[in-house]
Amino acid sequence: MAILKELPPDDRPREKLITKGVQSLSDAELLAILLRTGTKGTNVIEIARNLLKNFKDLSVLSIQTFDSLKNQRGIGKDKAATLLAAFELGRRIDANRRWRSDKKIVSPSDIAEYMIPMLRDEVKEKFYVVCLSSSNKIIKEYNLISEGSLNSSVVQPREVFKVAIESNSASVILVHNHPSGNLEPSREDIQLTKRMIEAGKLLNIKVLDHLIIAGNNYTSLVEKRLV
């Protein structure tokens, strides 16, 4: 098997990126740049191709855990950390591009547009609070309050409203995901939302809604008239 230095310069990922542009690179070549080096008998492009083969495609690869990645042949701890960092940057860029919008939040779908890219591929349940001004504009980006197991997360009102108070928020919207894909709010989801609404009344910070994200879809507890 050829080592990378034996490839023509124009076929080496970094050189190809410089001479032909980043768009000219395949998924495997882009991964190879992140991975940097191969192993004895296997060049870095082959390692990248094997990763894509093992995980079907980039979208599946991007949601793997540290342990899942580091145990792949030719990866290890350093390369796994590099991949995780790159995938997380991509997600944050996608979300931040949306957060820069100055539009007024007028419906649950407006928040869902921001949060679905952050949560649709998560394998653990995560709970976020979005802080809004008196004119219903986002004044603080997504705030991760809790990260739970596959089926549950533990959220305390003090954690939610600490962020809201520090941001001088007039209102908040709660958002969490269901990794199972089930859009139906659980009894715990409804009870938690009611607790947050009551806590918000004491602080004069209104809880406008609680959204559940599952894949590319969402449920609004307000639209369902559950709170």
Average pLDDT of the chain? 87
If you ran DSSP here, which 8-state letter would residue 129 be given? E
Q: Would you state the pLDDT for residue 134?
A: 92
Residue (of 127, 118, 203, 220) closest to 164 by Cα position: 203
- Tell me the pLDDT tens digit for each residue of 1-12: 445 555 555 568
Q: In angstroms, how far is CA 17 from the centroid of its own chain?
A: 27
Lowest mean pLDDT among 145-149, 156-160, 173-177: 145-149
Residue (of 46, 24, 25, 26) closest to 35 by Cα position: 46
Q: What's phi and psi for 182, nearest 5 deg?
A: -80, 120
- Tell me the pLDDT tens digit for each residue of 186-215: 999 999 999 999 999 999 999 999 999 999
Residue (of 79, 67, 101) closest to 35 by Cα position: 79
**Side-chain-facing half-sphere of 116: CA atoms under 13 Å:** 14
* Matching residue, tokens 């690869």: 61
The H or E element spanning position 50 is helix 44-54
Q: What is the mean pLDDT of residues 30-35?
A: 94
The residues, any chain, with a CB within 8 Å of residue 162's CB and separated by 6 or more, are: none
Q: Would you state the pLDDT for residue 1?
A: 41
Q: In terms of C-beta density within 10 A (0-12 exposed, 13-18 middle, 19 or more buried), how is residue 6 classed?
A: exposed
Helix (H, G, I), strand (E, B) or coil at 220: strand
Q: Quick check: 87 pLDDT over 80?
A: yes
66-78 burial string, b = 16+ CB within 10 Å, else e?
eeebbebebbeee
pLDDT bracket for residue 100 (50, 70, 90): low
- Write out the DSSP string of 156-185: -HHHHHHHHHHTT-SEEEEEEE-TT---SP
Question: Which domains, from first to last, does the chain contain?
Answer: 4-95 (1.10.150), 104-220 (3.40.140.10)
